[in-house]
Amino acid sequence: MSIKKIIATSVLATGLIFSQSALAKKVHVAVTAIVEHPALDSVRDGVKEVLMENGYDESNLKFTYESAQGQPAIAAQISRKLMGEQPDVIVAIATPSAQAAVSAAQGSDVPVVFSAVTDPIGAKLVQNMEKPGANVTGLSDMVNVRQHLLLMKEFNPKLKSIGVPYNPGESNSVAIVEALKIEAKAMGIKVVESAAPKSSDVMLAAKQLVGKVDAIYCPTDNTIISALESVVKVGIDAQIPVFAADTDSVERGVIAAVGYDYFDLGRQTGELVVQILKGEKAGNIAVKMAEGTSLFVNPAMAKKMGVSIPEAVLERATKVVE
């Protein structure tokens, strides 16, 4: 055997041993989310699937999950507790949990990967998307609000006003509403805001829009989405079509949404986690923008809200919810 072949074989063997030893060591991936609802749960499940595809299973992976039940104070408690456990990676889903995790991780060497965060810079998670630094990276799900407005206009070409229930305490929601107002103004559409600081406020916030708007738009706001059925009920009772920024909400009763597949978003987040487990420093990995969008429609709910889905929308729908 030539010297080159011996060296190549040695390098390959060394790499294989390193790979096997890395997987043999039990790692702890701790996932925390601000609240439990289908979109955020899908992110968690997508992360776990990618870990399993990369050789992490019950033998070498401790995978934990905790929900803050919609309470930022609980999110902070969870993050402080996790710092004491020193997991290999913390995955923080949604802006409030990400802010809590990044704050708790300051001064430690525990990497934080955030996901389903609309505006990482505005939320003060990172200062630079390309070079986040501070052992933090993640995935942004900033939505294309212009695309959402255009979809609503397909349902109602004479659309003049939309109502937006949201939690002004969620920086992600504030960013979406501000972007929405800019795009809506350019299209001659008025945005009527209705605050819902808590899940118990969501129905009242939706009711306050009745008689003032042509449609209701639910952004990727964790407070609103956790009580989405309240908005849907108002839409049915008042015959106002309800749209959303995430496709999971369509199966829960809104009539249409153009958005990310949050399970796939979780998979994209999982790829970042795997990079870190393999030795990359989180702060050296650029923050990613979520990829891929789908169009979901719900004809039955549209009928209940007094509208029909345009044929052109039905034809290009990724999924028609029966």
> Average of pLDDT values for 287-305?
95
| Residue 11 pLDDT > 80 | no
The DSSP bridge partners found for residue 242 are: 216
Regarding whether 272 and 134 lie in a shared domain, the answer is yes
Range of the domain at 163: 145-259+294-320
Regarding whether 137 and 172 lie in a shared domain, the answer is no
> What pLDDT is stored for residue 24 in this prediction?
58
Q: Which residue has the higher pLDDT, 79 or 13?
A: 79
Regarding whether 204 and 305 lie in a shared domain, the answer is yes
Closest by CA position to 111, among listed 120, 102, 121: 102
Regarding whether 79 and 155 lie in a shared domain, the answer is no
Contacts of 279 (CB under 8 A, 6+ apart): 22
CATH code, domain carrying 222: 3.40.50.2300
Q: Give the tens place of pLDDT for each residue, 31-74.
A: 999 999 889 999 999 999 999 999 999 999 999 999 999 999 99
Regarding whether 310 and 202 lie in a shared domain, the answer is yes
Distance from C-alpha of 174 to C-alpha of 111, rounded to nearest angstrom: 27
Domain tally, the chain = 2
Closest by CA position to 75, among listed 56, 90, 57, 55: 90
Q: Which one-letter amino acid corresponds to residue 112?
A: V
Mean pLDDT of the chain: 92
User: Residue with structure tokens 């809200």?
Assistant: 305
What is the percent of the chain with per-residue pLDDT over 90, rounded to a whole number?
A: 88
Query: Are β-strands 89-93 and 190-195 bridged in parallel, bridged antiparallel, or unpaired?
Result: unpaired
Closest by CA position to 43, among listed 312, 267, 198: 267
Regarding whether 121 and 179 lie in a shared domain, the answer is no
DSSP assignment, residue 294? Answer: E
Contact 177, 232 (CB under 8 A): no
Regarding whether 44 and 33 lie in a shared domain, the answer is yes
